[in-house]
Chains A and B, each alone.
Chain A
Amino acid sequence: MRISTFFYTLKQGLRNIFRNKLFSLASIATIAACLFLFGIFYAVLANFQHIVKNAEEGVSVWVFFEEGIEDIRIQQIGDMIAKRPEVAKMEFISAQEAWEGFRDEYLGEYGDGFTENPLENSANYQVYLNDVSMQSALVTYLESIDGVRMVNRSELVATTLTGINALIAYVSVGIIAILLAVSIFLISNTVAIGISVRKEEINIMKYIGATDFFVRSPFVVEGIMIGLIGAAMPLGFIYTIYNVVLAYVTDRFPQLSSLLSFVAVGEVFHVLVPISLGLGVGIGFLGSIVTVRRHLRV
Chain B
Amino acid sequence: MAVKKRRKGPVVENEIINLTNVSKAYSTGAPALKDVNLHISRGEFVFIVGDSGSGKSTLIKLLLRELTISSGYINVMGYDLSKIKHRKIPKFRRNLGIVFQDFRLLKDRNVYENVAFAQRIIQKSNKEIKKNVPSILAIVGLAGKYKAKPRQLSGGEQQRVALARALVNQPTILLADEPTGNLDPKNSWEIMKLLEQINENGTTVIVVTHNREIVNAMQKRVVTLRRGVIISDEEKGGYIDED
Contact = CB atoms under 8 A, between A and B. Distances in A.
A208 B122 contact: yes
Interface in B56-102: 64, 87, 89-94, 96, 98
B90 A211 contact: yes
Q: State the main secondary structure of chain B at its contact with A.
A: helix
Given A4-B126, A204-B104, A209 B120 contact: no
B169 A208 contact: yes
Interface string A179-218: 0000000000000000000001101111111111010000
Contacts of B165: 208
B118 interface: yes
Nearest to A12: B120
Given A4-B126, A5-B120, A214-B123, A208 B93 contact: yes
A207 B120 contact: no
Contacts of B169: 208-209
B106 interface: yes
A298 interface: yes
Contacts of B93: 206-209
Interface in B135-169: 165, 169
Contact of A209 (B87, B90, B106, B126): B90
Nearest to B109: A201
Interface residues of A, number: 19
Interface in A2-46: 2, 4-5, 8
B125 A4 contact: yes
Q: Which of A1, A210, A214 has the most CB of B within 10 A?
A: A210
A211 B87 CA distance: 8
B106 A210 contact: no
A61 to B, nearest CB: 65
A215 to B, nearest CB: 9
Contacts of A214: 121, 123
Contacts of B92: 209
Given A204-B104, A204-B106, A210 B126 contact: no
B104 A200 contact: yes
Interface in B120-134: 120-123, 125-126
25 contacts: A2-B125, A4-B126, A201-B106, A204-B104, A204-B106, A204-B117, A206-B93, A207-B93, A207-B96, A208-B93, A208-B117, A208-B121, A208-B122, A208-B169, A209-B92, A209-B93, A209-B94, A209-B121, A209-B169, A210-B122, A211-B87, A211-B90, A214-B123, A298-B89, A298-B90
